[in-house]
Copies of this chain bind each other. A is one copy, B any other.
Amino acid sequence: MNRNEKVKVDAGGDRWIRRLEIALDPPRLGENTADMDRLFRGIRKALGVRDLSAGLSLIRRIPRILRETKYRVEVLLCEEETGSWRLMDVGPSGRKKTLYGLAVDLGTSTVVVRLVDLESGEARDEVSFLNPQTEIGLDILTRIHYAGRVGGLNRLQDLVVTTLNKEISLLARKHTFAREEIACIVVAGNTTMSHLLLGLDPYWICREPYIPAVNSPPMLRAADVGIRLHPEARILVFPNVGSYFGGDLIAGILASGMTENEELSILVDVGTNAEIAIGTKDWIVACAGAAGPALEGGVADMGMMAGPGAIDSVRIHASGEIAVRTIQNKPPVGICGSGLIDLIAQLYLTGMIDVRGRFVPEKCGARLRETDDGMQSLLIVPSNASGSGQDLVLSQTDIDGLLRSKAAMYTILTTVTRLINVSMEDFRSFYISGTFGSYIDPRSAIAIGMVPDLPLERYKPLGNTSLAGAMEVLLSRNAREEIQTIRSTITYIELNVNQEFMNLFSAARFIPHTDRSLFPSVKG
């Protein structure tokens, strides 16, 4: 009876949000299939699927729409689970509007929202903004404690949802579309940020034995979380492996492509925590350990987060001149993590600091100062060249902080590779994720002994892999399945900070290391 129904299938075979044009045979005496069932039959034929559902409010609208459009409609569909499709909308065909989705990196500090054309798969815009929960507390623990207060969890959720809604409104206005044209939002964030977005109590995340409320959040309606998009728009929040290995890292593993590699590779997310995944297409081992805030430029006197005027690259010329590059070429006001790694590496390579990270007065010359309490510091940018009107100086404390952080990173790498019996030399790819990570010069990171002395071409900065992974999932059913596979494949290792760890840590505090043979390329 329906052999003449024509269906135009779009090209997005791997998409899980799809828009199809469907032309149905109008009903007649002797072929009296009901409106919804007629439409479902057409969609099933177009998609080759059996499992299809719709909500009551949409079903109520179908009879009128079918007659108004003379049975030629455009349907919006979401594959909620493999093979199980949800009818999200029905309207007149040929509207030719863009169908949007959002990929979100929900960071503890920074939230990045990317606007994506779900059909072409292209990014249309991107905005980043401070996670408004920072007004409650900069770090995760403060927010978990705040969530335990009366109304605290609601307030934390409301903060992030309200700001997301506002930023989405601005994007929609800028690109002159209605927020209802956004059909989906995919969010990658650490386990606590994901819980706070969903309004899930994070109480047990930071308490032994460290149990999240959810590992694999179900796909929900964005409206259930308070995010205002298409009324049937879906929200997918990345799964996590546990309290300390979140969806942001699963997104990173996905974006790196390391699970497709035959050869061994490693993904490192450099930050306050060093989060590490090592593996091949057959296995993944992950761990996380405290690396300290120095790597993020958050501790040194002149340290700052990456931003305009932050020194992000340093070269010391033979003349002793310290040449700095700043973000947006603004007059320097501080130094960010990558700049600090560069600076320490250059100081060591020019002999201005020794293997212990101590200033060498005869090399530092007049730049070296000593304060009343006997603390030495080195003038990097004089006040007349700085953007703040203050001298920018590097103190011994700053150096010690960075060396502790880099030692922690290298010790974690050493410990986990020993545990799983692989050699760091076997890493064919060393992926560095995180916006911060993309600015690190691997030569400098090797020079200070933060990362192993591998050929430079193996170092692959990936930028914001949390966002990249979210976008992949937004556009691909296979990627969406892959993150579940990754989640269940990962073996998470708890690092014991025992005596052996502390011994390794002590050795790694030197530049580049007490065992120079590990860093043959570094000429001190």
> Restricting to A261-317, which residues have a CB under 8 Å from any CB of B?
none
Q: Classify chain A: how many residues form its interface, as a range.
A: 35 or more
How near does chain B come to A269, taking the closest CB pair, in angstroms? 20
Q: Is the beta-carbon distance between A199 and B33 smaller than 8 angstroms?
A: no
Task: From A200-208, A429-437, A498-506, give the one contacting chain B.
Answer: A200-208
* Contact of A129 with B by CB under 8 A: no
Let me know if A419 is at the binding interface, CB within 8 A: no
Report yes or no: A213 in contact with B62, Cβ–Cβ below 8 A. Answer: yes
Instruction: Look across to chain B and name the residue whose beta carbon is closest to the beta carbon of A221.
Output: B56
| Cβ-defined contact, B218 with A54, below 8 A | yes
A56 touches B212 (CB 8 A): no
Question: In the complex the two chains form, is B30's CB within 8 Å of A60's CB?
Answer: no
A225 within 8 A of B: yes
| CB proximity of A483 to chain B, nearest CB, Å | 15
Residue of B nearest to A37 (CB): B215
Which chain B residues lie closer than 8 Å to A215 at the CB level?
A: 33-34, 36-37
Q: Which residues of B contact A212 (CB under 8 A)?
A: 34-35
CB < 8 Å neighbour of A201 from B63, B203, B209:
B63
Contact of A225 among B30, B56, B217 (CB under 8 A): B56
Chain B residue contacts of A494, Cβ below 8 A: 29-30
Q: Which of A28-67 contact B (CB under 8 A)?
A: 28-37, 51, 53-56, 59-60, 62-64
Interface residues of A in 166-222 (CB under 8 A from B): 198-201, 203-204, 208-218, 220
Instruction: Say how many copies of this protein the assembly contains.
Output: 2
Q: CB-nearest residue of chain B relative to A487? A: B37
B201 A64 Cβ-Cβ under 8 A: yes
Distance in angstroms between the alpha carbons of A33 and B214 in the assembled complex: 8
Query: Which partner residue on chain B sits nearest A204 by CB separation?
Result: B63
Determine whether A242 belongs to the interface, using a CB cutoff of 8 Å to chain B. yes
Q: Cα distance A200–B34 when bound, in Å?
A: 12
- Report whether A60 and B199 are in contact in the complex, using a CB–CB cutoff of 8 Å: yes
**B residues in contact with A122, CB < 8 Å:** none
* Chain B residues near A81 (CB-CB < 8 A): 51
Which of A31, A63, A199, A492 has most B Cβ within 10 Å? A63
A444 at the B interface (CB under 8 A): no
Contacts of A28 in B (CB 8 A): 209
When C-beta atoms are compared, the residue in chain B nearest to A243 turns out to be B32
**Across-interface contacts of A55 in B (CB, < 8 A):** 224
The 4 closest A-B pairs by CB, nearest first: A34-B215, A34-B212, A37-B215, A29-B209
16 A-B pairs with C-beta separation under 8 A: A27-B211, A33-B211, A34-B211, A34-B212, A34-B215, A35-B213, A37-B215, A51-B81, A53-B218, A56-B220, A59-B198, A59-B218, A60-B198, A62-B213, A63-B203, A63-B213
Known pairs A37-B214, A56-B225, A59-B214; list 11 more (Cβ under 8 Å).
A29-B210, A30-B209, A30-B494, A34-B213, A34-B214, A36-B214, A59-B213, A59-B217, A60-B213, A62-B213, A84-B84
Residues of A within 8 A of B (CB): 27-37, 51, 53-56, 59-60, 62-64, 81, 84, 198-201, 203-204, 208-218, 220, 224-225, 240, 242-243, 492, 494
